[in-house]
Amino acid sequence: MTRIKENPHTQRGMTVFLIIWVGQLVSTLGSGLTGFGLGVWLYQETGSVTLFALNNLAFTLPSLIMTPFAGALADRWDRRWLLILSDTGAGLSTFIVYLLFSGGNLEVWHIYLLTAFASIFTAFQWPAHTAATTMLVPKEQLGRASGLTQLGQAISQLASPAIAGALIVTVGLQTIILVDFVTFLFAVLTLLVIRIPRPAETKEGAEGKGSIFSEAVYGWRYIRTRPGLMGLMIYFAVVNFLFGMIGPLFLPLLLNMTTADKVGYASSIMGVGMLIGTLVMSAWGGPKRRIQGVLGFGFSTGIFLMLSGLRPSLFLITAAAFGLMFGMPILNGSSQALWQSKVAADVQGRVFAIRRLIAQSMLPIAIILAGPMADGVFEPLMAEGGALAGSVGQIIGYGKGRGSALLFIIMGLLMMVASIVAYSNPRVRLVEDELPDVVALAADEVETAVSQPDLPQTEPSPGS
């Protein structure tokens, strides 16, 4: 395989990475405020876990459909302009929500539609950002860079719920949405003053050229011929299904126990776990054997999921979620660094897009099932006088919310089983030994804030 020449401008590359990181951090904080605020508004308006979960589906499904094409475009176009496009589209969606809410015209279906609209643009964010990071950061620092990226998410998880919970009862949801829109503008400005180098063409990149559709499919062919990466991708598909089942249930579970402001504080405490985990990952870079970081912390998340459902205790749920959130940055960071070091830089957009598509392919199904399973099956089983109230209910409690808690326990157990099965597969366990490193790093020149912004490249015609 062709190796990319070592980037002689490593320090400048890290500077550009950090500029992008700051802009996305501010944007993520704003999005966290709006996400929490609209989530509370939506659940209070409908009182339904199913309708609440539909908003998760509205965000997930359009992004998944667009992901293969977004990945192909991330390899064709300037990755900076794709990031600008992503932030601009999502910011426009937020501004429309602001106008509707301030005019007293916001309806539940508006939230679904605008969430789907933002999701289309968000599909470009991940492959473009991930591939850009590979071009800017030395290979040995990829684990730390992934940790820093997740640090932004951790800070949002830590600060946004508490701030949003307080702002809801003081200045109201309208101000929260406006702040989010301003943070999108800030993110776009940071992207306008930097430049991201393009990767040198590799053998894999030359082989993958074609129409936009064939390039989108190329990512699948690339992964399919590498059994270790395929197994790892399937593992994350299972993990995402399990998390997809419990994700829409978490906020309603807590809201059934306490008030919105206390839920915000509890969510912030959970965010501390993610913050500490990202700081550890950023400083440490993860275990030398990255597959151990993936599967080991995958197993631990299953343990914490089970603990979160054991008792109707806000303290226990918060503590268990703290432990779970601590491990997630190490799990995800180890996986990200592994993929970035094994996939050629000029095809990472396509490969990572298919990786994301397959890994999250079961997520819409999980989201669709979560609400009906909770509302129609598990909640009745665990209600007072329900079929399981006299057996399982004597251990974990019964009544409102305990059906969702039982789902948490079941999903946690399945998470542990999935991690054990993945580790028992030698192709997955030995993926780092069987696949050579193909990324040494990036391009010949990296410019920072003083550079002249370059124009977006025109998409090549089909078949070129």
CATH no. for residue 29? 1.20.1250.20
pTM (two decimals): 0.66
Residue 445 lies in a domain: no
Residue 43 pLDDT level (bands cut at 50, 70, 90):
confident
pLDDT tens digits, one per residue of 50-90: 777 777 788 878 888 888 887 777 777 778 888 888 888 88
| Alpha carbons 455 and 155: distance in angstroms, whole number | 33
Residue 212 pLDDT level (bands cut at 50, 70, 90):
low
Nearest to 59 by CA among 302, 453, 294, 363: 363
Residue 5 lies in a domain: no
Residue 387 lies in a domain: yes
Q: Residue 448: pLDDT above 80? A: no
pLDDT of amino acid 207: 61
Sign of CA dihedral 146, 273, 61, 45: negative
- Long-range contacts (CB closer than 8 Å, 24 or more residues apart) made by 103-111: 108/42, 108/45, 108/46, 108/51, 111/38, 111/42, 111/55, 111/58
Nearest to 64 by CA among 293, 364, 315, 274: 364
SS (H, E, C) 253-272: HHHCCCCHHHHHHHHHHHHH
Nearest to 173 by CA among 41, 30, 56: 41
Range of the domain at 379: 10-199+206-433
Q: Are 382 and 393 in contact (CB under 8 A)?
A: yes
Residue 154: alpha-carbon gap to chain centroid:
11
Domain count along the chain: 1
Residue 461 lies in a domain: no
Residue 110: alpha-carbon gap to chain centroid:
23
Give the pair of three-digit tokens for residue 37: 């605020």
Residue 221 lies in a domain: yes
Residue 348 lies in a domain: yes
Residue 439 lies in a domain: no
Q: Residue 277: pLDDT above 80? A: yes
pLDDT of amino acid 194: 80
Q: Give the count of beta carbons closer than 10 Å to the beta carbon of residue 221.
A: 14
Residue 24 lies in a domain: yes
